[in-house]
Homo-oligomer: A and B are copies of this chain.
Amino acid sequence: MLDDRKLAVLRAIVTDYVQSHEPVGSRAIVERHNLDVSSATVRNDMAALEEEGYITHPHTSAGRIPTDKGYRLFVDRLAAMKPLTNAEKKAITHFLSGAADIDDIVTRTVRLLAQVTQQVAIMQYPTMGAAVVRRVDLISLHDSRGLLIVVNSLGKVAQRSIDFGSMDEESLTQLRDRLNDALAGLGPSRAAQVLADFSSTVSPEVRPIIHGIVAGVLDILATDQPTRIVVAGINHVSQFSDEFETSIRPVLDTLEEQMVLLKLLGEASAEVTVRIGQENEHANLSTASVVASGYGVDDAWAGLGIVGPTRMDYPSTMASVRAVARYVSRILAEG
């Protein structure tokens, strides 16, 4: 059905359209790609490709543009990831190397991703669910207010504001040490079990306070805590089109919805995945593609990726996403 030449024609249409943003005609194809056939032959192939649903044309006398199905075929069978240049690799490592803490790593990475792909980048914080508790700390601030801090083995720091009531500094220190002894090295589910019995081991008068603290720790450990998402390169939404209402507006609306973004990155696997146009369930993203990848180390896994118009340079974008995901994973593993 689809012989090699038809595939070559589809490839030509996709690459040319991505570059020019204009419907591409049969003559342009034979001129720019050396197919050694006439434009009439290409027209016949185009008719076949359109019959199969890989391309379409906006009106009778216009050139062809790829459909979602056409992009999908292109990504799956016709495109090889374009390897990064040395300069690009260098830029990535340089940009990420000076990061101080996890916040910094995430911020830098998402900006870098926006920069190299020239698209809107989104990135999920590594979930702390799978890691083990490394340290619990209690710090009184003023009056009866204070802070509960939990650090996990990935270096992620979580905090909750806590009312310490009438507890004095000394018993606070004591409590802290006991919590550390009890929890250090435990995963979240095991820690939750231990905590369940914890408040019964303390004297009754401080029990309500302990209860608050335990609740705080449990809250932090809960794996389904809303993972934070960061976005960068919003200005690159201009890639989508020059018309705001029909094209850009819905994308911006979607980018404000944390839950939707989480879903987009949700099933991030180790490999780069591409969701094209209508393949995104979300209606606002029907003209958008999402290129995503998982990143992280053994038990701290999360997603990052970009959102761009279906009409994008998939080979380069996929390569960039993959490269950034790998580099940031390496940095997480090292530091």
- Residues on A lying within 8 angstroms of B by beta carbon are 99-103, 107, 134-135, 137, 139, 141-142, 145, 147, 149, 151, 153-155, 157-161, 219, 228, 232-235, 237-238, 242-245, 248-249, 252-253, 255-256, 334-335
Query: How far does the Cβ of A119 sit from chain B's closest Cβ, in whole Å?
Result: 13
Query: How far does the Cβ of A179 sit from chain B's closest Cβ, in whole Å?
Result: 14
- Residue of B139, B219, B334 near A134 (CB, 8 A) is B139
Decide yes or no: A135 and B134 within 8 Å by CB, A235-B255, A256-B235 being known contacts: no
- Residue of B244, B256, B334 near A234 (CB, 8 A) is B256
As for how many copies of this chain the complex holds, the number is 2
Residue of chain B at shortest CB distance from A219 = B100
- Residue of B100, B134, B235 near A160 (CB, 8 A) is B100
Q: Do A161 and B157 touch (CB < 8 A)?
A: no
Looking at A107, A137, A141, the one whose CB has the most chain B CB atoms below 10 A away is: A141
- In the docked arrangement, what's the CA distance between A151 and B219, Å? 21
- In the docked arrangement, what's the CA distance between A228 and B228, Å? 15
Residue of chain B at shortest CB distance from A240 = B244
Residue of chain B at shortest CB distance from A151 = B139
- In the docked arrangement, what's the CA distance between A234 and B120, Å? 13
Q: Do B249 and A235 touch (CB < 8 A)?
A: yes
- In the docked arrangement, what's the CA distance between A249 and B234, Å? 10
Query: How far does the Cβ of A139 sit from chain B's closest Cβ, in whole Å?
Result: 5
Query: Chain B residues with Cβ under 8 A from A158's Cβ?
Result: 101
Q: Do A142 and B153 touch (CB < 8 A)?
A: yes
Residue of chain B at shortest CB distance from A148 = B101
Query: How far does the Cβ of A114 sit from chain B's closest Cβ, in whole Å?
Result: 8
Decide yes or no: A244 and B248 within 8 Å by CB, A135-B137, A155-B161 being known contacts: yes
Query: How far does the Cβ of A289 sit from chain B's closest Cβ, in whole Å?
Result: 20
- In the docked arrangement, what's the CA distance between A158 and B101, Å? 9
Query: Chain B residues with Cβ under 8 A from A248's Cβ?
Result: 244, 248
Q: Do A232 and B252 touch (CB < 8 A)?
A: no
- In the docked arrangement, what's the CA distance between A107 and B134, Å? 26
Q: Do A159 and B102 touch (CB < 8 A)?
A: yes
Query: How far does the Cβ of A319 sit from chain B's closest Cβ, in whole Å?
Result: 23
Q: Do A256 and B244 touch (CB < 8 A)?
A: no
Q: Do A135 and B145 touch (CB < 8 A)?
A: no
Query: How far does the Cβ of A291 sit from chain B's closest Cβ, in whole Å?
Result: 20
- Residue of B100, B161, B242 near A245 (CB, 8 A) is B242
Query: Chain B residues with Cβ under 8 A from A253's Cβ?
Result: 235
